[in-house]
């Protein structure tokens, strides 16, 4: 225990712990105002055809532009937003913003079929009336439900029964992807229960597939499952040309990752869609 390590350390430990909880308290309350204070921004990461590099759509990725802390990544605040319920308002903002941006991009020449992927968390799915509400947000933005893909993690589909939500929205044309596939539970019964059309292979496996036979085998197995039940696959976290080639060799057609494009600001993504910025890949955010 800390006590055995001497009195000085006890103090240090306690101070650090109370500092952390104060920090969380402050973050909690600041988070509840993030939408109204206009501190949230979306980044858009291209999802591409691996063989042709054609941009099929984007995944909307949330950033919190905190006045003091700078840009806070989603893994640092979404769990907190889920705890406090702030994720409901934040999630609504994300979906509306991503759909409005898609509507703008679909009016660019040759881009009418562009899609948008939006991440949902379990807490959002627990709200009464969420299916009708979600469809309303999509329609209000002026995009067709068929151009939207909602990403649900295996983790949240365990925590919540999302079957009804997903089935209702699927009936209206909305697409679903199982995100981070393979890392948490890999419970294949999800594939039976949920009307998902796409599996997203977690970047953990993509990262290891060119060095480790196990990871290569796992990617191959996921592709085989997807193929035999008629699901599309998107590989996440492609960082090297070698990974892209290995995925293509296994028959994986779509992917995203820093090699193909980092999460971009709306201006950068617009430039990319207009054919500018092809030569210089913008820096990551």
Which residue stretch of 62-70, 142-150, 173-181, 221-229 sits at the interface with Mg ion (rule: CB under 5 A)?
Answer: 173-181
Closest approach of Cβ 37 to Mg ion, in Å? Answer: 25
- The stretch near Mg ion (CB under 5 A) out of 106-114, 205-213, 232-240, 247-255 is 232-240
Q: Which is nearer to Mg ion, 30 or 62 (CB)?
A: 62
Contact 157, 194 (CB under 8 A): yes
13 near ligand C2E (CB under 6 A): no
Stretch that binds ligand C2E, among 22-30, 136-144, 213-221, 236-244 (CB under 6 A): 236-244
**Which one of residues 203, 235, 254, 264 is an interface residue with ligand C2E (CB under 6 A)?**
203
The option from Mg ion, ligand C2E, none interacting with 30 (CB < 5 to 8 A, set by class) reads none
The verdict on 78 binding ligand C2E (CB under 6 A) reads yes
Number of residues that bind ligand C2E (CB under 6 A): 23
198 binds ligand C2E (CB under 6 A): no
101 binds ligand C2E, rule: CB under 6 A: no
Q: How far is the CB of 101 from ligand C2E (least distance, A)?
A: 13
Give the total residue count for the chain.
285
Q: How far is the CB of 63 from ligand C2E (least distance, A)?
A: 7
Residues numbered 120 to 139 that lie near ligand C2E (CB under 6 A) are: 120-121
**Is 150 near ligand C2E (CB under 6 A)?**
no
How far apart CA 98 and CA 274 sit, in angstroms, is 18
- For residue 44, give Cα distances in angstroms to 20, 38, 97, 103, 272: 31, 18, 11, 14, 11
Instruction: Determine the distance from the C-alpha atom of residue 95 to the mean position of all C-alpha atoms in its chain, rounded to a whole number.
Output: 12
Task: Decide if residue 263 touches ligand C2E (CB under 6 A).
Answer: yes
Give the separation between CA 228 and CA 233, rounded to whole angstroms: 12
- Interatomic CA distance for residues 144 and 222, integer angstroms: 30
| Minimum CB–partner distance for residue 38 and ligand C2E (Å) | 16
- Rule CB under 6 A: say whether 257 interacts with ligand C2E: yes
Q: In the complex, what is the shortest distance from the CB of residue 264 to Mg ion, in angstroms, rounded to a whole number?
A: 15
Is residue 57 at the binding interface for ligand C2E, with CB under 6 A as the rule?
no
CB 52 to Mg ion: min, Å: 23
Q: Is 239 in the site for ligand C2E (CB under 6 A)?
A: yes
The least CB distance from residue 236 to ligand C2E, in Å, is 6
Using CB under 6 A, list all residues that contact ligand C2E.
45, 61-62, 73-75, 78, 94, 119-121, 151, 179-180, 203, 236-239, 256-258, 263
């Amino acid at each position: 225990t800390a006590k055995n390590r001497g009195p000085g350390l006890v103090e240090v430990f306690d101070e650090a712990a109370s500092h952390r909880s104060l920090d969380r308290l402050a973050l909690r309350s600041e988070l509840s105002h993030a939408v109204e204070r206009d501190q949230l921004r979306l980044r858009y990461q291209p999802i591409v055809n691996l063989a042709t590099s054609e941009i099929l759509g984007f995944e909307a990725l949330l950033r919190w532009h905190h006045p003091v802390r700078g840009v806070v990544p989603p893994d640092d605040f979404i769990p907190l937003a889920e705890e406090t319920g702030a994720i409901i308002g934040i999630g609504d903002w994300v979906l509306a913003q991503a759909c409005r941006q898609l509507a703008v991009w679909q009016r660019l020449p040759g881009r009418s079929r562009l899609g948008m992927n939006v991440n949902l968390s379990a807490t959002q799915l627990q709200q009464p009336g969420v299916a009708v509400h979600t469809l309303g947000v999509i329609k209000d933005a002026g995009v067709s439900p068929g151009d939207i893909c909602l990403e649900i993690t295996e983790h949240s589909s365990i925590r919540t029964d999302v079957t009804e939500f997903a089935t209702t929205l699927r009936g209206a044309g909305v697409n679903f992807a199982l995100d981070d596939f393979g890392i948490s539970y890999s419970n294949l019964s999800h594939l039976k229960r949920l009307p998902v059309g796409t599996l997203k292979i977690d970047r953990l496996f993509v990262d290891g597939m060119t060095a480790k036979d196990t990871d290569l085998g796992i990617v191959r197995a996921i592709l085989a499952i997807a193929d035999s039940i008629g699901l599309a696959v998107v590989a996440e976290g492609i960082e090297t040309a070698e990974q892209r080639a290995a995925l293509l060799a296994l028959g994986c057609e779509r992917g995203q990752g820093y090699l193909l494009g980092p999460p971009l600001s709306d201006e950068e993504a617009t430039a990319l869609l207009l054919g500018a910025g092809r030569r210089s890949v913008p820096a990551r955010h």
